[in-house]
Amino acid sequence: MNLGNKLPECYFHKATGYLCPACGNTRCIKALFKGHVLEALEYNITVPMLIIIAGMFYVEAVFYSFGKKVRIFPRSYVLLGVLLGSLPLYYVMRNILPFLTIC
């Protein structure tokens, strides 16, 4: 089944010619389901990054359910600032540097 025919076009990309933050998410998830991790990272890095962070929190929750408090994901304002600051930078830079995406 081809999802591209069933989903609407990106109105931001259609109007401006630039990639929006969500451009490539569907292709990224399809590539992940096929096991093509590097290809998924080329479409959009957001989804794999969120999956890794969610997996870390899930492992912490599993350990916590067995009575063991383990911190895998660091709780730091510096890390949070780097993550939240790097995403907008990535979204802008992938429109400027074509090697950051294969859309």
Per-block mean pLDDT, blocks of 10 residues, the chain (103 long): 67 85 87 92 90 94 94 90 90 83 66
Strands (E), the chain: none
DSSP 8: P
Distances in Å between the Cα of 40 and the Cα atoms of 12, 23, 61 are 21, 12, 27
Give the model's pLDDT for residue 23.
86
Three-class DSSP category at 7: coil
- Which residue do the tokens 């998924």 mark? 40
Residue bearing tokens 């802008």: 92
CA dihedral 54, 22, 46, 91 (to 10 degrees): -150
Q: What is the pLDDT of residue 14?
A: 83
Amino acid 51: pLDDT: 93
- The pLDDT value recorded for residue 67 is 94
**Rounded distance, CA 31 to CA 95, Å?**
21
Look at residue 27 in the predicted model and tell me its pLDDT: 85
